């Protein structure tokens, strides 16, 4: 018998309950059980994960999920989470797993940065009446362009590096087929193609059904090399080498055998039912020189036509690593902050490892500028981008574009219950159970994503318009348009922004 106090209490309003049993049918955690002999729905609170599937599906709003008020005695050092973790570990002897991103109350620098706006001396621009440019090109930019004129026609002499053209500086971050369902992958892929942006295959390979979205796909090559073959590399528009992930820097992925269905095993090129374990490091990359070789290898395999991205988690010496990555020949550096999500990670790693994306982004951009190699790479910021304001602040801090993962899942139904690792996602996102995966209709999922990104894009235009800027290019790395609030001198210094009032 478990001695852990349940986290949630499920309340059913009997005046409203019509006994339709939608809750019984919808809850994959088996919180509800119907006893026909007694015509009674019995509720088991201890199984509730707080995903709110039942109360949102209930046709009479008869259900309320509340925090359990019965908790261990208040103690600011030994808080309830800590006591519960100890008890859970004492019962099971294992690591505590969790899903999604770091939820601990660390400072969010996005909330301590304010945006500038134009008044009197520099006119603001109305995005509805005037053209605004959000189009962004990711990749190495040439130091100079030489142009020649022949018979009155102008030709570009400089050979340009491969670029990724995105219509809005928002892309969908890496989530593998395996960690999320095929319907979820398809929603992301079809939304990316409608929006003129990119989604990322994660380390799950590319399902044959998704090859048609290749032009909007960034294919990932990670330490397990799952699903990597020539067709895969050539089908994708760009290749991303994943070194680390913000939620679990220094930890590889682990897809339990139960989730490795026949379809997934074929896509990942591994036997069905076996654990898909991605090693913590790439065993062929122990230095920047090794990384350079892999980048060269991928470029060779794809005829030097596709940009290569390198993704690292934001850690203490990210700036030096980023400089190395730029010199190793990567076209784009992706930095994933410690708020970034995951399908499964040990709680202790997710909650204690890495640094905030705001800080990492600022120091990396500064370092690359100081070394005059900022033009050689684009920077993509990822990990906890919650809104268009966060995206604008990231771009002003030096990012070329942002990746959104958690926000995309939320748009498709996720309620951040953080139980992705259980594989029983009630919203049909992070599961392979055929009963649950059908809960996401890709037509609805992709429409929701398109709506989200379109509304963020509109907001970004509105924000930059208010600053008197008509192209997102002009805001990139423009930290003068940012001001800090409640930041110490050290923090302002690292972020490279002045305090409000300065």
Partner 1 sequence: MKRRVMCNEDFCIGCRLCEVHCNVKHSKSGDIILAYKYEEEREPSRMAFEEKDYVCGSIVCMNCKDPLCVKACSMGAIEIKEGTVAIDDERCVGCWMCVMVCPFGAIKRGDKKAFKCDHCHDMETPVCVLNCPNKALVYEVD
Question: By CB under 8 A, which span of 2-10, 56-64, 191-199, 362-370 interacts with partner 1?
Answer: 56-64
Which residues in 17-46 contact partner 1 (CB under 8 A)? 18-22, 25-26
Residues 113, 358: Cα–Cα separation, whole Å: 10
Q: Name the residue nearer to partner 1 (CB basis): 53 or 374.
A: 53
Q: Name the residue nearer to partner 1 (CB basis): 59 or 94.
A: 59
Question: By CB under 8 A, which span of 13-21, 149-157, 346-354, 380-388 interacts with partner 1?
Answer: 13-21
| Least gap, CB of 16 to partner 1 (angstroms) | 6
| Least gap, CB of 56 to partner 1 (angstroms) | 9
Tell which one of 57, 233, 458, 471 touches partner 1 (CB under 8 A): 57
Nearest Cα neighbor of 114 from 488, 390, 485, 458 is 485
Q: Name the residue nearer to partner 1 (CB basis): 62 or 285.
A: 62
3-state secondary structure of 150: strand
Q: Name the residue nearer to partner 1 (CB basis): 86 or 443.
A: 443
Which residues in 164-193 contact partner 1 (CB under 8 A)? none
Q: Name the residue nearer to partner 1 (CB basis): 26 or 197.
A: 26
Total residues contacting partner 1 by CB under 8 A comes to: 22
Is the Cβ–Cβ distance between 428 and 442 less than 8 Å?
A: no
| Least gap, CB of 182 to partner 1 (angstroms) | 11
Residues 442, 222: Cα–Cα separation, whole Å: 26
Contact string (CB under 8 A) for partner 1, positions 65-104, x = contact = ----------------------------------------
In angstroms, how far is CA 256 from the centroid of its own chain? 21
Residues 8, 48: Cα–Cα separation, whole Å: 6
Nearest Cα neighbor of 256 from 273, 269, 270, 244 is 273
Tell which one of 2, 33, 40, 60 touches partner 1 (CB under 8 A): 60
| Least gap, CB of 161 to partner 1 (angstroms) | 42
Q: Name the residue nearer to partner 1 (CB basis): 349 or 409.
A: 409
Q: Name the residue nearer to partner 1 (CB basis): 158 or 441.
A: 441
Residues 134, 458: Cα–Cα separation, whole Å: 10
Contact string (CB under 8 A) for partner 1, positions 440-459, x = contact = xx-xx---------------
Nearest Cα neighbor of 331 from 381, 364, 380 is 380
Beta bridge mates, 171 = 403
Q: Name the residue nearer to partner 1 (CB basis): 290 or 433.
A: 433
Which structure tokens are listed for 196? 């003129």
Is the Cβ–Cβ distance between 181 and 433 less than 8 Å?
A: no
Residues 437, 27: Cα–Cα separation, whole Å: 13
Nearest Cα neighbor of 166 from 384, 472, 489, 465 is 472
3-state secondary structure of 443: helix
| Least gap, CB of 43 to partner 1 (angstroms) | 18
Is the Cβ–Cβ distance between 217 and 281 less than 8 Å?
A: no
Tell which one of 1, 3, 37, 59 touches partner 1 (CB under 8 A): 59
Tell which one of 64, 283, 438, 486 touches partner 1 (CB under 8 A): 438
| Least gap, CB of 243 to partner 1 (angstroms) | 37
Q: Name the residue nearer to partner 1 (CB basis): 52 or 439.
A: 439
| Least gap, CB of 445 to partner 1 (angstroms) | 10
Nearest Cα neighbor of 224 from 186, 194, 179 is 179
| Least gap, CB of 32 to partner 1 (angstroms) | 13
| Least gap, CB of 53 to partner 1 (angstroms) | 10
| Least gap, CB of 381 to partner 1 (angstroms) | 34
Q: Name the residue nearer to partner 1 (CB basis): 34 or 304.
A: 34
Question: By CB under 8 A, which span of 273-281, 316-324, 359-367, 430-438 interacts with partner 1?
Answer: 430-438
| Least gap, CB of 454 to partner 1 (angstroms) | 20
Q: Residue 336 half-sphere exposure, CB side, CA atoms within 13 Å?
A: 28
Burial class (CB in 10 A: 0-12, 13-18, 19+), 290: middle
Positive or negative torsion for Cα 459, 202, 382, 474: negative
Q: Residue 361 half-sphere exposure, CB side, CA atoms within 13 Å?
A: 35
Residues 27, 51: Cα–Cα separation, whole Å: 9
Is the Cβ–Cβ distance between 408 and 340 less than 8 Å?
A: no
Residue 434 near partner 1 by CB under 8 A: yes
Q: Name the residue nearer to partner 1 (CB basis): 156 or 435.
A: 435
Beta bridge mates, 114 = 483
Question: Running DSSP on this structure, what letter comes out for residue 347?
Answer: H
Q: Name the residue nearer to partner 1 (CB basis): 59 or 93.
A: 59
Residues 80, 88: Cα–Cα separation, whole Å: 12
Which structure tokens are listed for 101? 């991103």
Residues 285, 289: Cα–Cα separation, whole Å: 8
Q: Name the residue nearer to partner 1 (CB basis): 183 or 217.
A: 183
Question: By CB under 8 A, which span of 54-62, 83-91, 348-356, 449-457 interacts with partner 1?
Answer: 54-62
Residues that bind partner 1 (CB under 8 A): 15-16, 18-22, 25-26, 57, 59-60, 428, 433-435, 438-441, 443-444
């Amino acid at each position: 018998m478990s001695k852990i106090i349940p986290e949630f209490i499920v309340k059913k309003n009997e005046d409203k309950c019509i006994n339709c049993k939608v809750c019984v049918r919808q809850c994959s955690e088996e919180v509800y059980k119907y006893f026909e002999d007694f015509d009674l729905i019995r509720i088991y609170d201890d199984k509730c994960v707080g995903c709110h599937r039942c109360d949102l599906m209930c046709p009479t709003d008869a259900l309320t999920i509340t925090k359990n008020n019965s908790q261990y005695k208040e103690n600011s050092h030994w808080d309830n989470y800590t006591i519960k973790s100890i008890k859970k570990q004492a019962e099971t002897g294992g690591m505590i797993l969790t899903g999604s991103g770091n939820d601990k109350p660390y400072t969010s620098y996005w909330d301590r940065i304010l945006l500038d706006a134009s008044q009197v001396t520099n006119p603001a621009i109305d995005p509805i009446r005037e053209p605004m440019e959000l189009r962004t090109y990711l990749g190495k930019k040439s130091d100079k362009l030489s142009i020649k004129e022949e018979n009155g026609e102008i030709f570009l002499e400089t050979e340009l590096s491969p670029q990724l053209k995105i219509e809005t500086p928002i892309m969908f971050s890496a989530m593998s087929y395996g960690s999320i369902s095929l319907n979820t992958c398809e929603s992301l892929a079809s939304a990316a193609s409608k929006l003129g942006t990119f989604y990322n295959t994660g380390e799950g390979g590319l399902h044959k059904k998704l090859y048609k979205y290749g032009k909007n796909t960034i294919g990932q090559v990670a330490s397990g090399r799952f699903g990597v073959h020539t067709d895969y590399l050539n089908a994708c528009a760009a290749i991303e080498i994943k070194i680390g992930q913000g939620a679990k820097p220094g930890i590889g992925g682990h897809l339990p055998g139960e989730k490795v269905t026949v379809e997934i095993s074929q896509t990942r090129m591994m036997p069905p039912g076996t654990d898909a374990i991605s090693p913590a490091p790439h065993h062929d990359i122990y230095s920047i020189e090794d990384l350079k070789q892999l980048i060269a290898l991928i470029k060779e395999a794809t005829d030097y036509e596709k940009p290569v991205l390198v993704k690292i988690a934001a850690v203490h010496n990210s700036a030096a690593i980023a400089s190395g990555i730029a010199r190793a020949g990567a076209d784009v550096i992706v930095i994933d902050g410690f708020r970034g999500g995951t399908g499964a990670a040990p709680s202790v790693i997710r909650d204690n490892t890495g640094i905030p994306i705001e800080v990492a982004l600022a120091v990396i951009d500064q370092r690359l500028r100081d070394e005059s190699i900022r033009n050689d790479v684009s920077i993509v910021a990822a990990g906890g981008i919650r809104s268009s304001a966060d995206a604008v602040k990231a771009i002003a801090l030096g990012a070329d574009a942002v990746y959104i993962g958690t926000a995309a899942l939320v748009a498709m139904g996720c309620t951040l219950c953080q139980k992705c690792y259980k594989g029983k996602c009630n919203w049909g996102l992070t599961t392979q159970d055929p009963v649950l995966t059908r809960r996401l209709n890709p037509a609805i999922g992709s429409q929701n994503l398109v709506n989200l990104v379109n509304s963020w894009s509109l907001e970004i235009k509105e924000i930059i318009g208010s600053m008197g800027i008509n192209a997102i290019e002009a805001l990139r790395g423009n930290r003068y348009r940012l001001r800090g609030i409640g930041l110490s001198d050290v923090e302002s210094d690292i972020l490279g922004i002045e305090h409000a009032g300065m």
